[in-house]
Structure 1
């Protein structure tokens, strides 16, 4: 005696499953669109995007009145994640509020392959963040470094004369992150080891 379900039951089950899959696909599609405004809202609240965007144009900065009666000490710090050499060419300097200033950072790729990296700035004290105006900065874009390449990269900035009077020192700190994924790096390393093993196997053994 046959125990197979009727064909109508199969069609009903298939139709129900198709509807469910369509609903899931539509929800995922809608969620993908929702991520963009969600991301923008979070960045706007936290101020993350503002850290890697131009704060003021060069023309606006040069039109700013320089306060020659006040001096601010700017200290420079550098941190790196991954096999990157990264440091400022000078550790500190004194500037007048409203004065356009350029400093240089050196970054080097210590890997034997090209990498992409992104620098993120931070400031201390925290209240100085909105008064430290970057005109040009290597942190505005991702940086590509060839194998064993070294770059000199400028930061052009101006300190807003509206900086609170009790702030005498500002520390500008950058953290440079390698953007190459660990999986990609592992694949490169694995590929190198595999090539080395293959070459070794292909080398004929010397007679005893």
Structure 2
């Protein structure tokens, strides 16, 4: 009787271990799936200021000269990246519907060729779907020779449909080494 009880307990323990291993594997897989799912969600909804990375369709739109929006430009580097990276101007007053251009400066601080990529983010997140980049250095990888520095353009406009309570939009780039 004691042996059957111990055999039953051992079988129950094995079932429990298998179930726990299965749950652990499922949690691990779910953790890996969250990153691409989050990226897709952010691109589709503009959540967290992620932009689609697509060139905006350049259709005529009425310029709202009665309204100005402050656009702030922020540049940051991936931790330890051997670059210099900064906006030409840190803020600009714009009229929704009108095209504007500004530049960011980047320089390779190493003695070897390097490639970088700028990842944009817009805040508040609600403004991401109203911020239209027509030309942007962030659309492509940027190849720099050793010690090379250059101005990189961003041409944009803000859709007049941006809610009126949004008075400031921040365009932020983080520059990563590829």
TM-score, structure 2 normalization: 0.72
Contact in 2 for aligned 1:52/1:139 (Cα 8 Å): no
**Residues 40 and 175 of structure 1: CA distance in aligned 2, closer, same or farther (over 3 Å):** closer
Q: Which runs of 5 or more residues in structure 2 are unaligned?
A: 1-34
- Is 1:70 aligned with 2:67? yes
Q: Number of matched residues?
A: 139
Residues in 1 aligned to 2:148 and 2:109: alpha-carbon distance in whole angstroms? 8
Q: Deviations over 1:10-68 (max 9, x none)?
A: xxxxxxxxxxxxxxxxxxxxxxxxxxxxx98664323189735234133x1xx111001
Name the structure 1 match of 2:148.
Answer: 149
**Residues 52 and 153 of structure 1: CA distance in aligned 2, closer, same or farther (over 3 Å):** farther
Is the strand fraction higher in 1 or 2? Answer: 2
Residues in 1 aligned to 2:138 and 2:115: alpha-carbon distance in whole angstroms? 12
* DSSP 3-state at the match of 1:173: strand
Q: Residues 70-89 of structure 1: matches in 2 within 5 Å?
A: 70-81=67-78, 82-89=81-88
Name the structure 2 match of 1:118.
Answer: 117
* DSSP 3-state at the match of 1:47: helix
Name the structure 2 match of 1:54.
Answer: 54
Is the helix fraction higher in 1 or 2? Answer: 1
**Residues 52 and 106 of structure 1: CA distance in aligned 2, closer, same or farther (over 3 Å):** farther
Q: Please report how far the alpha carbon of residue 151 of structure 1 lies from its aligned counterpart in structure 2 after TM superposition.
A: 1.2
Contact in 1 for aligned 2:43/2:52 (Cα 8 Å): no
TM-score, structure 1 normalization: 0.62
- Is 1:102 aligned with 2:98? no
Q: Residues 1-208 of structure 1: matches in 2 within 5 Å?
A: 43-47=39-43, 51=51, 53-58=53-58, 60=59, 63-81=60-78, 82-179=81-178
Q: Please report how far the alpha carbon of residue 69 of structure 1 lies from its aligned counterpart in structure 2 after TM superposition.
A: 0.6
Q: Please report how far the alpha carbon of residue 123 of structure 1 lies from its aligned counterpart in structure 2 after TM superposition.
A: 1.1
Q: Deviations over 1:119-171 (max 9, x none)?
A: 00111111111111110100001111110000110000010000001000011
Q: Please report how far the alpha carbon of residue 80 of structure 1 lies from its aligned counterpart in structure 2 after TM superposition.
A: 1.2
RMSD over equivalenced CA pairs, Å: 2.1
Q: Which runs of 5 or more residues in structure 1 are unaligned?
A: 1-38, 180-208
Residues in 2 aligned to 1:139 and 1:131: alpha-carbon distance in whole angstroms? 18
